[in-house]
Amino acid sequence: LYVVPTHILGKQLCEKYGCHYATINRLIGDGCDSYKVKYDEPHTILIDELTMIKKSDIEKALEMYPKSLILIAGDIDENQWYQCRNGDKGCFTELYRPSANEMRYVHFTNDYRSKDEQIKNFKLAIRDEMKRIFTLNIKDFDEDKFGGDIGSKMMNSWIKLNANKFGLSIISAKDAIKEFKSFDDVFIAGTHATNKMLLDNKCISGHINSKKEINYNGEGEKRGSFTIHSYQGLTISDKRVFIMLDTFEYAMLYTAISRCTNISQIVLVSP
């Protein structure tokens, strides 16, 4: 059983591999009958996108399915996380991060999403900076500060200094509006303010339906931009991706950039 935070992620893998999926809410019976009540315990459960799931939900799953082999996948290591957490400034989801003594960590280092060496190197450089931030003042380390707004500002300062090393430049929001092609391009951002600004300027990235699923076929509400959180776990391979640097969590920049498969897709935008 493949377990994910949202239906859109589950449907993608179900269509690609023919697997069965359930949301984390269905697995543990949060607001509905649990998967266990309806179907019994699966032999193996793969819980994916760890950083998007509350610690308490994973702990409940471990308790509810003692007979299942449970694999938990996410972009984390023993020290920190690399994909953004759910939440807002000072109020982020607490992550399930067991010590290496409690659970075995297996590191997969192949980058299957990236299709050119330049974007691979770019992502590795961002991860190195994220690691550096986590070594600062480690004695008095505050996750909500260095993993939140302060860390985010440090990442945005880093990208402004280093983007040109990877063949990228940072354009203004005004220039981005001129360059943006509705439905051909997609705009992703940290906050909803970018969505309003783009809608006011008749720039449309796509739609989002009542199930919070992103689409480009006109189903649901028009969106000038989508949040980085809404694209987490998804791949964008056939569009230019405008990324607004209005982040408030240190991993948001990496999450946005790692949606892309090629460096040529990326357009960085200063708010």
Per-residue pLDDT for 140 more than 80?
A: no
pLDDT at residue 144, rounded to an integer: 65
The model's pTM: 0.90
Provide mean pLDDT across the span 10-17: 88
Give the pLDDT band (50/70/90) at residue 91. confident
pLDDT tens digits, 52-67: 999 999 999 999 999 9
pLDDT tens digits, 19-32: 999 999 999 999 99
Per-residue pLDDT for 139 more than 60?
A: no
Quote the CA–CA distance of 148 and 93 in Å, as a whole number: 11
Provide mean pLDDT across the span 178-183: 95
Amino acid at 229: H
Quote the CA–CA distance of 199 and 197 in Å, as a whole number: 6
Amino acid at 75: D
Per-residue pLDDT for 41 more than 80?
A: yes
Quote the CA–CA distance of 127 and 133 in Å, as a whole number: 10
DSSP for 102-128 reads TS--------SS--SHHHHHHHHHHHH
